[in-house]
Amino acid sequence: MPEVTAAPVSHPPIAALRPQEAGYTLVALIALMTLLALFAMAAAPSIVQQAQREREKEAIFRGEEVA
């Protein structure tokens, strides 16, 4: 049986396919990262407060153990 080889297929770059849309993916990615950073900043104070309360509970527990 003869060996069949396929010619390599070359794909044009994506920017060449849609030059009018170049850069929109990067803008969307930056916007998404900005939103995630804002949500993280909004959640940070409550996380810090929760950690402080856990430390206070631990201190009270240890104090009661000693007393």
pLDDT tens string 19-59 = 677 788 889 999 999 999 999 999 999 999 999 999 999 99
Residue type, 53: R
Specify whether the CB–CB gap between 64 and 56 falls below 8 A.
no
Say yes or no to pLDDT of 16 above 70: no
Task: Answer yes or no: pTM beyond 0.85.
Answer: no
Q: How far apart are CA 64 and CA 58, in angstroms?
A: 10
State the DSSP code for 2: -
Q: How far apart are CA 32 and CA 10, in angstroms?
A: 32
Query: Which of left, alpha, beta for 59 (phi over 0: left; psi -120 to 50: alpha)?
Result: alpha
